[in-house]
């Protein structure tokens, strides 16, 4: 009981303790704020990528695509663990407003909007047809014309506050889309001067996925039209990928494993068919693996920040070590008194460890409180700074983020608090042992001088 009493008294009555727990509080504050923002950005980025891709993708990198995709779609739709599937055409094209001198290179994705919305978050990215994605390719001025959905940054400019000025009704803008159709053997489907397939589409909506690369370079087209443009229609229809959504109770890894087995079985069935060679390039990937090249960069940054904060932790341990070394030196008389009344060496270590524990807990609590408060106001602070000084942490005209993430994750908070306490205990360990080894006779005699 005296250990608890003395720990509290040392914590509250010694000024040097204030410095120590303020140091801990500052470290906790910094780590909490940065980890919350970073984790928020990474989580948000992952969620957007997951929403973009669905749960699983059966696809090929080859622009030629693969055949018999309709048969495999039937197989998938009959399985009990799959909720929805969406075959997709992926290719590259040149897009130009009619009459314009310049064209722009874009990626095109041919989809059936309703089924694609069941697999991915496509519908939520739309502006004019969010409530009814099946009409995504119906231009407002004439629903019978073939429409196209443009990545938002292809159509609108992002303003400095990160917003867009949407039109009330999509304008009747014709856009020429030109592709290079390929045969199943990978050769140009058209020879001579007419190697390119072109078609005029009309702007019907824009898609804001929150992924910079997608929003600035992707054009959604109706599935059949894109199939024709890419030379994948005809007797042996081809597609580039099938996006899949699992039922809610199915784990992604388990679902992908089952789909992979189904694909292997399907491949064996089609082994003797005319275009079975195209099936060899097809892979089955979870959404994470499918979007690995985009996610990995952010995950590496997050890992780097965690490493840097480990160094911050080492600094905290050192600060606590120095503070406790000073406290133990100053408290040598107390240690002598405690030993003279029968307190053991182990109890002396426990006393200072308890003190370190309280110091870590209090510092973590203060750091957490101010971190929470700062995160609560972080967007208002940034808005105020932008209004008065034109300063933004991330330039919204460049970075595709809305508000700075400020939701503290409970798991992250628990890890930070435990790390702060462990750092304090680690820093106090050697001074505590030094205190325990002090000879009471010496400490009491020295303090008499």
Partner 1 sequence: MFSKHMSNDDSILKVEGLYKSYRMGATKVSVLKGLVFAVKRGEFVAVVGVSGSGKSTLLHILGALDSPDKGVVEFEGRDLNRMAAGELNRFRNKTVGFVFQFYHLLDELSVMENVFLPAMAGCGVVGWFMCRRKVKRRAEELLEKLGLSDRAEHKPFQLSGGERQRVAIARALMNEPKVLLADEPTGNLDTATGNGILRVFEGLNTAGQTIVMVTHDEAIAHRAGRIVTLVNGKIEN
| Residues in contact with partner 1 by the rule CB under 8 A | 1-2, 4-6, 9-10, 13-14, 333-334, 336-345, 347, 439-441, 444-445, 447-448
Question: What is the rounded distance in angstroms from the CA atom of residue 82 to the CA atom of residue 245?
Answer: 6
Minimum gap (Å) between residue 20 Cβ and partner 1: 16
Minimum gap (Å) between residue 366 Cβ and partner 1: 21
C-beta of 209 vs 432, nearer to partner 1:
432
Q: Is 424 helix (H, G, I), strand (E, B) or coil?
A: helix
C-beta of 312 vs 337, nearer to partner 1:
337
Structure tokens given for 341: 């009344």
C-beta of 17 vs 217, nearer to partner 1:
17
C-beta of 375 vs 438, nearer to partner 1:
438
Distances (CA, A) of 79 to 116, 224, 281, 389: 18, 25, 23, 58
Minimum gap (Å) between residue 363 Cβ and partner 1: 20
For 14-83, where are the alpha helices, taking DSSP H only? 15-53, 69-78
Minimum gap (Å) between residue 350 Cβ and partner 1: 11
Minimum gap (Å) between residue 344 Cβ and partner 1: 5
C-beta of 265 vs 344, nearer to partner 1:
344
User: What residue ranges in 231-299 does DSSP mark as E strands?
Assistant: 238-239, 241-246, 283-286
C-beta of 373 vs 441, nearer to partner 1:
441
The strand pairing partners of 150, in sequence order, are 206, 219
Structure tokens given for 61: 């990198």
Minimum gap (Å) between residue 1 Cβ and partner 1: 4
Phi and psi (nearest 5°) for 412?
Answer: -60, -45
C-beta of 148 vs 435, nearer to partner 1:
435
Tell whether the torsion through CA atoms of 211, 214, 217 and 221 is positive or negative: negative
Structure tokens given for 402: 């809305």
- Per-residue H/E/C for 298-355: HHHHHHHHHHHHHHHHHHHHHHHHHHHHHHHHHCHHHHHHHHHCCCCHHHHHHHHHHH
By the 8 A CB rule, do 202 and 139 touch? Answer: yes
Minimum gap (Å) between residue 331 Cβ and partner 1: 9
């Amino acid at each position: 009981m005296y250990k608890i009493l003395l720990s509290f008294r040392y914590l509250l009555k010694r000024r040097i303790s204030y410095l120590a727990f303020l140091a801990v509080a500052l470290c906790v504050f910094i780590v909490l704020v940065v980890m919350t923002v970073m984790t928020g950005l990474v989580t948000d980025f992952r969620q957007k990528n997951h929403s973009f891709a669905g749960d699983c993708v059966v696809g090929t990198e080859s622009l030629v695509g693969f055949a018999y995709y309709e048969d495999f779609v039937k197989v998938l739709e009959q399985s009990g663990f799959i909720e929805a599937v969406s075959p997709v055409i992926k290719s590259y094209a040149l897009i130009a407003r009619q009459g314009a001198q310049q064209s722009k290179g874009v990626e095109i994705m041919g989809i059936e909007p309703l089924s694609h919305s069941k697999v991915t978050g496509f519908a939520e990215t739309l502006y004019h047809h969010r409530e009814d994605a099946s009409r995504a390719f119906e231009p407002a001025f004439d629903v019978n014309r073939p429409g196209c959905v443009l990545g938002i940054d292809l159509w609108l400019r992002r303003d400095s506050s990160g917003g867009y000025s949407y039109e009330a009704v999509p304008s009747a803008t014709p856009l020429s889309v030109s592709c290079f159709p390929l045969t199943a053997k990978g050769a140009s489907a058209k020879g001579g001067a007419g190697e390119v397939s072109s078609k005029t589409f009309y702007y019907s909506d824009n898609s804001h996925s929150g992924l910079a690369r997608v929003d600035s370079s992707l054009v959604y087209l109706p599935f059949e039209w894109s199939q024709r443009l890419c030379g994948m229609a005809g007797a042996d229809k081809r597609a580039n990928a099938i996006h899949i959504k699992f039922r809610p109770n199915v784990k992604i890894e388990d679902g992908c494993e089952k789909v992979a087995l189904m694909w292997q079985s399907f491949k064996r069935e089609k082994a003797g068919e005319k275009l079975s060679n195209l099936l060899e390039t097809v892979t089955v990937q979870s959404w994470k693996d499918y979007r690995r090249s985009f996610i990995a960069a952010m995950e590496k940054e997050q890992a780097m920040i965690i490493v840097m904060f480990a160094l911050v932790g080492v600094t905290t341990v050192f600060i606590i070590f120095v503070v406790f070394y000073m406290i133990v030196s100053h408290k040598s008389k107390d240690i002598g008194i405690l030993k003279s009344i029968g307190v053991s060496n182990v109890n002396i270590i426990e006393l200072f460890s308890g003190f370190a524990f309280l110091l870590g807990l209090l510092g973590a609590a203060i750091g957490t409180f101010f971190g929470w408060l700062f995160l609560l106001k972080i967007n208002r602070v940034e808005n105020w700074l932008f209004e008065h000084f034109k300063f933004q942490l991330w330039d919204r005209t460049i970075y595709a983020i809305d508000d700075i993430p400020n939701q503290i994750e409970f798991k992250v908070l628990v890890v930070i608090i435990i790390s702060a306490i462990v750092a304090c205990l680690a820093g106090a360990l050697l001074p505590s042992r030094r205190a325990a080894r002090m000879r009471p006779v010496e400490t009491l005699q020295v303090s008499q001088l």
